[in-house]
Structure 1
Amino acid sequence: MNHNLTALRKQLKRKLFKRQTTQNKAILSVIAIVLVMLLAAGFTVLNLPVYTENARKVITIPKGTSLSGIANLLAEKRIIDYPRGFILAAKLMFRSKSLRAGRYRFSDNRTYLSLVRTLSDNTIQTVRITIPEGYQARNIAALLNRQIGLDSLEFMRKVNDAAFTKDMNVHAPSLEGYLFPDTYDFSNSEIADDILLTLVERFNDVVNDTLLKAIK
């Protein structure tokens, strides 16, 4: 009798062990599938494409801008399509708190992965420059030359270059009058083209906002 009970107990233990092993394998399989899905989703997010045409523009990210603020700015400038995707990419790369303020041209970036790297690896120091109201192009050129060493002659040549003016979508003989007075952050590695683009874009932004308010 005791022998039969012992045998029965052993049999029950084996069955329980097999059942537990089967359950553990099932759980591990589910975990593995979930991990694979997460990795695939992460890979997809990191490799979302950047709009390379719009990425040629110079974008200024102000100091103190949050991760979501940067994502929304990039979406507003049509560099990216999915702000949440960018936020997720930054978090997946553990760089959500290391994105730096500054001025960027993203023409060499093709994916969210490279975009996050560019924003987190930036070590360029900028200088805050205020262009007073009433300054003409020659005054701005002299100011930029003093502050960041910009070639003032090249700056003026671009201002009066009809072809360059047309590229800026300005329907005028020159950019005189389209360089908006404001406070900007520029680095000493800036070129005249980028600075002029920034000033003209700022002019367009303010004019468009003013027109919209007038219409309302």
Structure 2
Amino acid sequence: MRDTLTSRFFFFISSIITLSLLFLAAFFFLPGWNTSEKEVQQEKIVVHRGASLRSIIATIADKEVVRNERPLLITAWLFPELRQIKPGRYTIPPGLSNYGLLSYLHHHPQDEERVLIPEGLREERIAGIIASQLDIDSLSFMNSSRDKALLEELGIEAGSFEGYYFPGTYNFPWASTSQEVIRFLVGRFRAFYTDSLRTLATKRGFDELELLTLASIVEAETPLDEEKPLIAGVYLNRLKKNMKLQADPTVQYALGRKPGRLLYKDLTVDSPYNTYKYKGLPPAPICSPGALSILAVLEPAETEYIYFVATGNGGHYFAKTAAEHAKNVRKYRASRR
């Protein structure tokens, strides 16, 4: 009799233990156990920098990915390694278990954004593009652009990273910091600026900053790739002759103005970027030049032109003498009328 009771007792206990283990297995690991019935597709959630685990789980519940927050909190408490979730934008597949959901967020790469940085943009425009597509505030980006420690770290001898945001289309983690984006873009320029190109720049008498400065002026002057070597040739000729560059885009930059028509009074602005007032190159780039503008400065057209003016339809008239230039200016004014 005693043996029978003992057997029943152990059977009862083992059944309770088995059922408990099955419940715990379902609680933690059964797919779909805590998933909302609404969840039939992938759902996107955003994890901002500094977000607490509780706020992340609340966001998951708000998106109706799960029915209840508490099972996720208990799972995170029992599996502390899953509490570390990086900031980012995550696409969550449907039907995950509590453990599987937290494990997915812990291990899964965050979503990336494809960001296009066109040639010829100033840094405030680039900051706007970055802020619109990544979890970065444009003011934070501009502050990082002027961060002296970061400039020194990357070997930039200027007051900002203007000109160093190498144009192109890149994939960035959505939660990138402004410093990470800047380091990456400067790295893309440095990867492009090979030793052979550096040697060409030295032969031209330019250091890295001077090269980018002249290339940025060329970039701002013409949208036509075939004209860039000619524009570069004109400016190099003017530098050799100790003439002022008289580049309109540098004055527009000094005025903080978008590209457009300048008035005579604008040309008197007292700024080191006013190349109508001061000889030589301005102190730093006025935009971020693309590869073709940089190469145009390194391998310019062999020309005797020292003047150019817009044609009115996107291109330019070029001239060797002041008299020829005056005729071209009249043609340009006639085209505007």
**Which bin holds the TM-score, normalised by the shorter protein?**
0.3 to 0.5
TM-score under structure 1 normalisation? Answer: 0.43
Larger Rg belongs to: 2
TM-score under structure 2 normalisation? Answer: 0.30
Q: Comparing both structures, which one devotes a greater share of its residues to helix?
A: 1
- The higher relative CO (CA closer than 8 Å, separation ≥ 6) is in 1
